[in-house]
Structure 1
Amino acid sequence: MPLPSGIRSRFVDDINGLRMHVLEAGFETKGRPCVLLLHGFPELAFSWRKVMPQLAAAGHHVIAPDQRGYGRTTGWDGDYDGDLNSFRLTNLVRDALGLVSAFGYRSVDAVVGHDFGSSVAAWCALVRPDVFRSVVLMSAPFGGPPPLPFNTADAPPKPKHEDPVHRELAALPRPRKHYQWYYSTREANADMQRAPQGVHDFLRGYYHHKSADWKDNKPYPLKSWSAGELAKLPTYYVMDLARNMAETVAEQMPSPEAITANQWLPDRELAFYSAEYERTGFQGGLQWYRCGTSGEFIGELQTWSGRSIDVPSCFISGKQDWGTYQRPGVYEAMQQSACTRMLGAHLIDGAGHWVQQEQPGEVSRLLLRFLKQATERAQ
């Protein structure tokens, strides 16, 4: 594992049924304030390697796990027909709580989540603000818990709502499909793990397509959750109906010269990702998407209907990241109502979706500034 100096790899047993693989920095001295970093898809704890030393140098104990379904963490069920229940958001929060407790902390200064890890971080802060005393959401804004049906006692019962957008996407002149629902299909894992170009080149194309290096990433807010608006998203979000993800990103493969020139993800670092995903497959991460698209766990999340994130919060994303806007209105709702103590929303130029890898210096600066502000507000 090509890790910078000051980061160690270790395992922690008995974390909510998992043997959890963790990267750790700032472990040399006891009593440091703790920061928990949660990665997204298709990444690993390794995605935080560039910011961990800077947080540790500023006096923090930094913990970054391979989350349930990923990397060297074991104890999860990777079978498509296996236990989807264990991947629901509240159990992922339980994973985070268990890890923090195992390290001897009653609370952490901040939980920081990127991509799908942003959702876990948001729910950590919403459900246990006593433990997760501040939160940084990266590349995936949080719009709040799902609402409960309201004022319906004297109204006639309504049929179960079915989102027509998928049928409408498929009926467009250029037929399309949403990537999260594709990721929920039985075929998605094999499409990627057995990609014709190999896992390494698949990931190279995927990371390139969603980065600032792909020059057509020029995001802007969409007007609505409708087929016509969603079709404006790049094909890594709203795919051509007949193509899988390996075929989608193969069309945008960077040139050999561009790969050689890549400084934020050189091939020797990408090789670690590709080796891990060749070994484990992608299904563990895809289970997270299935939990969301199935709708099975909305009822549980409605327990917190009407609640907001009331600890200090911050949002960081790449200026060239469509993830900020992929769900219309959520970026605005996060700032207006879902997070009541938001100290900043930062869009970093020169970064796409992989913001902490593409622009680690600026991300580290913003994280340290936020941690200082959150601590001062708490005093």
Structure 2
Amino acid sequence: MIHGVNGLDVHILEAGYERPGRPLALLLHGFPDLAYGWRHLIPILADAGYHVVAPDQRGYGRTTGWVNGYDAPLESFSLLTMTRDAIGLVSALGHRHTAMLVGHDFGSPVAAYCALARPDVFPSVVLMSAPFPGPPALPFNTAESEASLMQPNAEYKKLAAALAALDPPRKHYLQYLSTREANGDMWHPSQGLHQFLRAFFHVKSADWSGNKPHPLKARTAMELAQMPTYYIMDHGKTMAETVAPFEPSAAEVQGREWLTEPELGVYTEEYGRTGFQGGLQAYRVHADPHLNAELRLFSGKTIDVPSLFIGGKSDWATYSAPGAIDLMKAKATTRMAGIELIDGAGHWIQQEQPVGLSRLLIAFVKEVRRSDPSSGVP
């Protein structure tokens, strides 16, 4: 436990700390994950010479100092607050900067803003599963027009209405995750928490044959409805009800090495204790334009440190925000090394294919160091 990090006591998993002076690899998880999600990757990176640290992020696991509950203040779960969490943790660990910063799922935008705001502390960044389209833009040349009077969430409401008008009616998973009911639905589902998590991890992995992701043409209801129901849900269904039909068989579970029953039991125990609301708070911030207004401080800025995007070939997250990956390459970054999609991986890349992931990460950092000795990457 690392105390006094931006108001938090941060629970971490780490390896490679026995030798002082090792370069720091910081791994940021997403939802509904934990530091434990990096368990297969941590020893590989430590063997490669890194001091590897994976925290339970704000709102998750055994990290404390945040207020649990739907009615807790949302400001403390903003992206910039979690960026300060990461900076504070690096400093508390006795490092001036990272050699490797990796963010997965909701950890990806946190890592992106780390690199955007403090390139001196985070001299390279790897984004996993969630492409970064850049910070929100400020309205331009609106002084004498009525565009500035438009509701900032008008497009969001219009899309929600279009999804609801489909046959059968649908809803975006972000819309669901922002509701008061979402935490209870997932925390106390009829099939039990363990079985819900088993089905959720399965259906978003390469093990489920229904994952055949491809780019979507536009952010329209008809295009988005091509995604599986765990992204574009049937209207009126909870997430637990949505994934229940896809629960793997006993034989499939027994043959799974990347998430055994005892390993899943860690997730069941932790989320059984905390519920999901801490992680859901960040989604509620994401859905509220007023709470995201502070991100416009970075409007027009790009990630100028070396960057890499890694996805799973069977992961819809790469394309779930249509156009985001193109914006990331063309506008949001200036030194992107490439887009890597790993075979045999769905959404849980670091669990499903940790060896392949480690090769990409280590090669990327070595290339950063070789091509730019002044980059700050040791």
2:213/2:316 contact within 8 Å kept: yes
| From 175, 181, 190, the counterpart of 1:187 | 181
Kindly provide the amino acid, as one letter, of the partner of residue 285 in structure 2: C
Pair 1:284 & 2:284 matched: no
In 1, distance between residues paired with 2:23 and 2:369? 11
Encode CA deviations 1:271-307: one digit per residue, 9 max, x unaligned: 0011100000000000010000122222200010000
How far apart in 2 are the matches of 1:187 and 1:51? 34
The reply to whether residue 86 of structure 1 matches residue 86 of structure 2 is no
Task: Give every structure 1 segment of 4 or more consecutive aligned residues whose post-TM-superposition deviation is greater than 4 Å.
Answer: none
Give the aligned length. Answer: 369
C-alpha distance in 2, partners of 1:59/1:214? 35
Q: Determine if the alignment matches structure 1 residue 166 to structure 2 residue 160.
A: yes
**Which residue is equivalent to 2:325?**
331
Paired position in structure 2 for 1:134: 124
Mapped to 2, the partners of 1:217 and 1:359 lie a distance apart of 16
Q: Deviations over 1:185-215 (max 9, x none)?
A: 0000000110111111100000001000110
Q: Please give the residue correspondences for 1:165-244 in structure 2 after superposition, counting only pairs within 5 Å.
A: 165-244=159-238
Q: Which moved more, 1:101-110 or 1:211-220?
A: 101-110
**Residue deviations 1:236-295 (CA, integer Å, cap 9, x gap):** 111000100000010111111111111111111010011100000000000010000122
Partner of 1:378: 372
Match of 2:242 in 1: 248
Question: What is the Cα deviation at residue 155 of structure 1?
Answer: 2.0
Code of the residue aligned with 1:139 in structure 2: it is S
Residue number among 294, 307, 327 corresponding to 2:288 in the alignment:
294
1:7-59 Cα distance to aligned partner (Å, 9 max, x none): xxxx0111111111000111110011111100000000001111111111111
**Counterpart position of 1:363:** 357
SS of residue paired to 2:264: helix
1:375 and 1:54 mapped to 2: Cα distance?
20
- Please, what is the CA RMSD of the aligned residues? 0.9
For 1:58 and 1:359, how far apart are their aligned partners in 2?
17
**What is the rounded CA distance, in whole Å, between the counterparts of 2:340 and 2:307 in structure 1?**
12
Shift of 1:377: 2.5
Distance 2:367 2:94 in 1: 25
Counterpart position of 2:108: 118
Give matches, 1:5-16, under 5 Å: 11-16=1-6
What is the TM-score when the length of structure 2 is the normalising length? 0.96
1:92 aligned counterpart, secondary structure: helix
Match of 1:100 in 2: 90
Measured in 2, the distance between the counterparts of 1:139 and 1:194 equals 28
Give the whole-Å Cα distance in 2 for the aligned partners of 1:190 and 1:206: 16
SS at match of 2:121: coil
The equivalent residue for 1:22 is 12
State how far apart, in whole Å, the 1-side matches of 2:9 and 2:262 are: 27
Q: Which amino acid aligns with 1:333?
A: L
Residue 344 (structure 1) aligned with residue 353 (structure 2): no
Distance 2:178 2:11 in 1: 25
Q: Distance in 1 between matches of 2:195 and 2:232?
A: 21
2:21 equivalent to 1:48 = no
- Structure 2 CA distance for aligned equivalents of residues 273 and 378 of structure 1: 40
Contact 2:285 2:292 (8 Å CA) reproduced: no
**Superposed displacement of residue 374, structure 1:** 1.3
**By how many angstroms is 1:340 displaced?**
0.8
The DSSP-based 3-state class of the residue aligned with 1:96 is helix
Give the 3-state SS of the residue equivalent to 1:30 in structure 2. coil
Q: Which runs of 5+ in 1 are unaligned?
A: 1-10
> What is the letter of the counterpart of residue 286 of structure 1?
L
State the Cα distance separating 1:154 from its structure 2 match.
2.3
* TM-score, normalising length: structure 1: 0.96
* Residue in structure 2 matching 1:264, options 255, 258, 274: 258
